Amino acid sequence: MSKEFHCSENWHNRGYLPHYDAECKFQFITYRLADSLPEKVRQRLQENSYNSMSEDEKKQRRFLIEKTLDSGYGSCILQNPQCATIVVDEWKFFNNSRYELIAYVVMPNHVHLVIKTYKGFTVGDLVKSWKAYTAKEIRKYFHSNGQVAECNSALPEILQAGNLFWQREYWDRFIRDENHFKKSIDYIFNNPVKAGLCKSIFDWKWSNSLEYFGKI
């Protein structure tokens, strides 16, 4: 294999979740707002070491997180159209230069996306960049438009400087094969339907389902 096409692989741990950084691979990525889970759920997750869990326990953990997120807990600030636009535009800005953006969805309090990684850009660094820019721009939008006072009581906390906007960690999984790829895409596009936010995947504005399925 030539040096140009060599793809490095590296497992690492930033906090309590293991991450898999790999070049030239498809990666499924999820991250969420800092207030998207109740305190008791966050404490329960932190008390359990992910690395020591059985596969069934890991599955139950993911189910608990997904169920809570889809219930619409927290400020759900990403349901604001301008906030969702900021997130999507940031992903698109580096598309085809730092990664290939395959599929995405912006939910009210979390996001999912599938990318193909490029050489020299790790998933950890990409997520860090996305989070930093969007947190800054969303806060700027609300403060500059005088909308903070109009928000519910849970919202101002994540908009204030010094407080977390996004939860520190993120979840990622590399795509193993074609079947896994199809299931990941299906999960992303059906998440708004599953959460009861719309009836069809094509009704949700903050995904690229129409664009994606229009190509195949």
Look at 66 and 191; give whichever has higher pLDDT.
Answer: 191
Write down the pLDDT at residue 78.
96
Q: Given this model, what pLDDT does residue 64 score?
A: 80
List the domains of the chain with CATH numbers. 10-213 (3.30.70.1290)
Torsions phi, psi for 75 (to 5 deg)? -70, -25
Which of 113, 108, 104 is CA-nearest to residue 208? 104
Predicted pLDDT at 23? 63
Confidence of residue 32 (pLDDT cuts 50, 70, 90): very high
Task: Tell me what the mean pLDDT of segment 163-188 comes to.
Answer: 92
Query: What is d(CA 124, CA 132) in angstroms, rounded to the nearest whole number?
Result: 12
CA distances from 130 to 29, 32, 72, 87, 206 (A): 12, 12, 22, 8, 16
Q: What is the pTM of this model?
A: 0.81
Confidence of residue 91 (pLDDT cuts 50, 70, 90): very high
Tell me the pLDDT tens digit for each residue of 109-168: 999 999 999 999 999 999 999 999 999 999 999 888 655 544 444 455 888 778 899 998
Between 157 and 6, residue with greater pLDDT: 157
177: pLDDT strictly greater than 60: yes
CA gap 44, 207 in Å, rounded: 31
Q: What is the pLDDT of residue 17?
A: 41
What confidence score (pLDDT) does residue 2 get? Answer: 32
Torsion of CA 136, 168, 115, 82, to 10 degrees: -30
Distances (CA, A) of 66 to 50, 144, 180, 184: 16, 33, 18, 14
Tell me which of 41-50, 61-70, 110-119, 139-148 is least confident: 41-50
Q: What is the mean pLDDT of the chain?
A: 82
Q: Under DSSP, is residue 12 helix (H, G, I), strand (E, B) or coil?
A: strand
Inform me whether the pLDDT recorded for 206 exceeds 70.
Answer: yes
Q: For the chain, what percent of residues have pLDDT higher than 90?
A: 52
Segment 48-58 shows an average pLDDT of: 66
